[in-house]
Every structure is written in C-alpha cells, then in structure tokens.
Chain A
Amino acid sequence: MEKVGIIGVGQSAFVRGFPGSIRELAFEGFKEAMQDAGIPTKEIDASIICSAPEYDKQRSPAGVFAEYLGLVPQPTCYLESLCSSSSMGLRFAYSLVKSGLHDVVAVIGFQKMSEISSAESQERMGRGADIQWESPFGTMMPAYYAMYARGHMEQYGTTLEDLALIRVKAATYGQINEKAVYRRPVTFEMFSDPESPMSNPVANPLRVGDCCANADGSSCIIVANEEKAKAFSKKPVWILGLGAASTTVNLAGRDLFSGLTVAQAAGEEAYKMAGITAKDIDVAEVHDCFTIAEMMAYENLGFAKPGEGKELIKAKETYKEGSIPVNVDGGLLSKGHPIGATGGSQIRTIVLQLRGEAGEMQVKDPEIGLVHNIGGVGLYGNVSILGR
C-alpha cells in the first residue's frame, strides 16, 4: 500500500492581537513548514485553507493566501469544520495524495480572533451550534461544554478538583512552549482562591481556568506521497490512520452527555485503519478546549475506561514522564486555540515528537502518536494517527 507522509510542519506563535493581517499571519506558519520541508514552493501541487468563518472580513481566504504565499496557479480551496478544520484539511489532503491527483499538498490553518471582542467571539462560537433552535436561548461554547461537565460529574462523580489538575498540567507545558499564548504557571490553589481569575465562574460548573485561551495563529502541514516524501525528507512521518465522524448539532438529538460520540467513532476508525489499539499510542494531542474535554478524550480514545479518566490525571500518567503523555505542549488551554490553526498545530507537535525534535517537551522515544481534534460542541470529530 502506497503510504502518505508529512514532510513539513510549522506554526506561528499563538498570540493575543497579532500585529498584521490574516495573510501575513498565514505566512508565518507556511514559512516555517516550508523551511522544515526544505522544498521550493513550486513543489506544492495544491493548497487547502482551513478556518472557522466570520472572525475576519475576508470571504474565500483561499485565493488571497494562495497569491500571498506564491501558490498560484495551483488549485486551492477553503475548508471548514469549525475547531477541527485543519485536521479535516489533513484528511482531504490525504485523499488528494492517495488518489494520485496531487503529489504534495499544503494544509494551512489560521484564525485571527482578536479582530472582534470576546462577547462577539462567544456569539460567533454559539452560532456554530443550532442557530434556529439553540442560539436564541443565548448559548456559548463554555456553557455547552459545562453541560457535558455536569453530565460527567453526575455519571462518574468527577469533581472540579479533578478538572483543575488538567489545567495545572497544561500550564506546566505552556510555560516551556515558546509558541504558547499563556506562558504563566497555574496552581491547583488558584482554583479555590477567589482573588485568582482562574476561579471566576464562566458557565457553571466551569471556571475561567477550565477554558482555553482565544488566540491568533496559523499552522501548516505539508503532505506528500511516499515517493516524494522519501525523496524530500530524511524523517518523514507517516499517516497511519484517520477517523472522522459527526453527530446531531442540536443537543436534543443526543443521548450521551458524559463523552463525545464523535471522538469514540473517529478513534475506533483511526485505530482500525492503523491496525493498532489505544495501548500502542506513545504520545497524544487531544482537543482540550475545556478541561472537561480532555477528561472525556482520555475515556473516548480508550486511554482510560469511562469514568476513570480522573485516575489518569491524578496519577500524572498524562504528564511527559507518564504512561500516556497528553498535550505536553500546553494544549489548547495554555498554548491557545486559534480555531482553524489548532489541528495543524496539534499535528505539528506530534510530528516533532516522533522526529525527536520537541526540545524540552520531548517524551521518551515515541513511535506512534495520536491527534484528537473536535469541531463545535462535539459536533465534528477527527482522530489522526501518525507514526515514524
């Protein structure tokens, strides 16, 4: 079977208030990925531009980016699945390459969230859910995930203290990731300190410390067929498994509120394609848009049995030295979550880990890594498994 590889990865720093336009933001991730790949731009046969719409004024950003990045006259298009847009981009790049239609494809994710206020941003995010039947009630992402947090707590007795441990871990690694937007430490005690912003309620039971940081950022992944990957790259990372799923947008259509069915389904599909199980994963990036999201990911991906995710974090098994290191780059919680750029950034982290180039964040000699990227309120799920 012809393999598909990743030969270049890049991302901008994730920041508050990027001092430039979206095309200039995209340039940063693209430049790093192209320098990583070490190939001239003419080798890119097509580009896929990924973001969640309506954070900036540009309609159809693909054309603008292709021009600015020197990717014309090759085909380009825009693709979105909210927060999982660039993982979905990887899935489509894989199929373009696997089909033989193109040899090398660039997946470029971006989001410039700082052009609008936080309340406007919450409204945009809320409208990623059902605008006819839910948004008129005043919904926003933290409140939706808070409903899952309550569901998990009801079902399994998970506590706010358990969730705080996940944020403390994220901050441990956010401090050593020079690309992260939130570089400060977060202590367990901050969650019970009324003076600390971390303890402020957002949508109960979730507090400020349970929520990821909005950020501006871009990412880029260069995908190539086996022949080109071997010719261009000394250390290609191979795409071993891909899974994707959706569910009803309206929560009224769902039955599970202590986990995400899209993550379960995408995970199973990806494991099956790769011919492995959860036990084979050496390092993982999961979509911790909220602390509860990481807790559910442990269980939905099979790192822990349902309800036992809290034991993993209590035992520090998801720290760098643990049995299944998760989000040792700070995750969305501390690295930041520039929506369309997030999947590409997660993929970049795993590629660097597999190549042994993750610096201070490097886990010991990983062979297989996993990326779990969720769009909307558990609406779209993508799981990608990568290996050396």
Chain B
Amino acid sequence: MGKKKKEVDDRFKRFGTVSFTSITKINDFIDYLDQGKIMGTRCKECDLFFFPPRADCHNCFSSDMEWVEVSGTGKLVTYSKLEFAPIGFGDDLPYAIALLDYGDYKMFGRIAGDVPEDEIHAGMEMTARVNTLPNGQLNYVFHKA
C-alpha cells in the first residue's frame, strides 16, 4: 500500500519561454491566460490594485484578493531588442523586451514579433495580448493599439 502521491499545483511553470517559478498562490493567472485574459489582483480590504498580480497586500496585510482584467491601451515607456539571448532563450531571437505604462500601473513584457521595428517608438499606444510561444508556453506581448 503506497502512499497516494500528493498533487502539486505547478501551473505557473507554463509562464514565459522558460519559467523559473512553478508554485505560486496566483496560479489562476495561468488559467486566465488560457482564456486569453491578462489579470491583475485587487485587495478587497483596501482596494489597492496590483499588476503583476500578488497574493498578499503589503499595504494592509490582507490576502483577500479578487482578479481584475487588465484592459485598454498603454504607452510604450522604453524597450530593447536583443541580438544575444540568455541560455534557454536563443530560439526566440531576435525579440524585444519592453515596458508599457497603463497610467495606474505598468506592465513588463515583449513587443509582438510582427510589429515592424521602424514603427516602434517611445510613447506609442500599445495593447497587451496573450501569446502562445512556439514551445507551447504562454506569455503576453504588446501590439500596436
């Protein structure tokens, strides 16, 4: 009679080309990505909104959070196109990492591969969408709004 193997909720291992985290309290984030939704969390106690989502509020110490979808457009703050990649990311080259400013929060991600390089400029309006990577992993990328 062997012990029943405990199920491990490691859904977060599906985030990004290579995920360095597998177990987190905000694993539902991955299910939302599967549905095409990018979600942040809002503290039900003090109303503070977090993106990236968090399980715990550092403001009021509550862990009672609700999921809120990130929508609308953000302004491109800055970006960089990589010609050389860290180990594990070489197949994605070339790609650009970037930061979008949604006003109340910012989002770190990548610029979609089909945005022509000469059209990318700081201040442009962009919108983040869920993306499935060639290796089946999930992330989000920024498209022209």
Smallest beta-carbon distance A378→chain B, Å: 13
Interface residues of A in 222-264 (CB under 8 A from B): 250-254, 257
Contacting residues, chain B, for A205 (C-beta < 8 A): 80
Stretch at the interface among B1-9, B19-27, B41-49, B60-68: B19-27
A142 CA to B95 CA, complexed, in Å = 14
Residues B81 and A204 in contact, CB atoms below 8 Å apart: yes
Q: Which residues of B contact A257 (CB under 8 A)?
A: 77-78, 99
Chain A residues with Cβ below 8 Å from B79 are: 147, 150
Contacts of B87 in A (CB 8 A): 117, 119-120, 122-123
CA distance A197 to B52 in the complex (A): 38
Within 8 A of B (CB), among A110-158: 117, 119-120, 122-123, 125-127, 130-140, 142-144, 146-148, 150-151, 154
Q: Are A135 and B20 in contact (CB under 8 A)?
A: yes
A137 and B86 contacting across the interface, CB-CB below 8 Å: no
Taking a contact as CB atoms under 8 Å apart, the answer to whether A203 and B83 are in contact is yes
Contact across chains for B78 and A148 when beta carbons are under 8 A apart? yes
Which chain B residues lie closer than 8 Å to A117 at the CB level?
Answer: 87
Please determine whether B83 and A122 come into contact, CB atoms closer than 8 angstroms. no
Residues in chain B near residue A202, CB distance under 8 A: 82-84
Q: List CB contacts (< 8 Å) of A166-223 with chain B.
A: 200-206
Question: How many residues in B have their beta carbons less than 8 Å from beta carbons of A?
Answer: 40
Residue-wise interface mask of B (65-100) relative to A, using a CB-CB cutoff of 8 A (1 in contact, 0 not): 000000000000111111111111110100101110
Which one of B80, B88, B110 lies within 8 Å of A147 (CB-CB)? B80
Q: Which residue of A is nearest B137, CB measured?
A: A136
Residues of B within 8 A of A203 (CB): 80-84
Instruction: Give Cα A240 to B99, complex, Å.
Output: 39
Which residues of A are found within 8 Å of B85, using beta-carbon distances? 119, 122, 138, 140
> Distance (Å) between the CB of B143 and the closest chain A CB?
16
List, in ascending order, chain A residues with CB within 8 A of B89's CB.
138
Task: List residues of chain B with CB within 8 A of the CB of A250.
Answer: 52, 108
A251 vs B15: C-alpha distance in the bound complex, in angstroms? Answer: 18
Point out the residue from B83, B92, B139 that lies within 8 Å of A204, measured CB to CB.
B83
A254 to chain B, nearest CB (A): 8
0 or 1 for each of B10-30: is its CB under 8 Å from A? (1 = yes): 001001111111001000000
The residue that A252 contacts in the complex, of B24, B83, B84, B105, with Cβ under 8 A, is B105
In the complex, are the beta carbons of A136 and B19 less than 8 A apart? yes
Residues of B near A154 (CB, < 8 A) are: 78, 122-123
B112 proximal to A (CB < 8 A): no
Cβ of B130 under 8 Å from chain A: no
Q: A204-B83, A251-B99, A252-B108 are in contact. Are A136 and B51 (CB under 8 A)?
A: no
Question: Which residues of B are found within 8 Å of A143, using beta-carbon distances?
Answer: 80, 82, 97
Find chain B residues with CB under 8 A from A142 CB. 80, 84
Q: Which of A126, A150, A252 lies in contact with B86, CB distance below 8 A?
A: A126
Residue ID in chain A nearest B89 by CB atoms: A138
B80: chain A residues at CB < 8 Å are 142-144, 146-147, 150, 203-206
* B129 on interface, CB distance cutoff 8 Å: no
B20: which A residues are within 8 A, CB to CB? 127, 131-132, 135-136
Which B residues lie within 8 Å of A148 (CB)? Answer: 78
Kindly state the separation between the CA atoms of A117 and B113 in the bound complex, as whole angstroms.
28
Q: Which A residues are in CB contact (< 8 Å) with B16?
A: 135-138
A137 and B110: CB pair below 8 A? yes
Q: A146-B80, A151-B78 are in contact. Are A122 and B86 (CB under 8 A)?
A: yes
Given contacts A143-B80, A251-B106, contact A123 B99 (CB under 8 A): no
With A136-B19, A203-B80 as given contacts, are A119 and B106 in contact (CB-CB < 8 Å)? no
The CA of A205 and the CA of B120, in the complex, are separated in Å by: 13
Given contacts A137-B108, A203-B83, contact A147 B24 (CB under 8 A): no
Identify the interface centre among B89, B95, B122, B137: most chain A CB within 10 Å of its CB.
B89
Q: Which 7 A-B residue pairs are closest in the complex by CB-CB distance?
A: A136-B16, A138-B89, A146-B80, A123-B86, A252-B106, A122-B86, A131-B20
Q: List 9 A-B contacts (CB under 8 A).
A: A119-B85, A122-B85, A123-B86, A130-B108, A132-B15, A132-B24, A134-B97, A140-B86, A206-B80
Which A residues contact B (CB, under 8 angstroms)? Answer: 117, 119-120, 122-123, 125-127, 130-140, 142-144, 146-148, 150-151, 154, 200-206, 250-254, 257
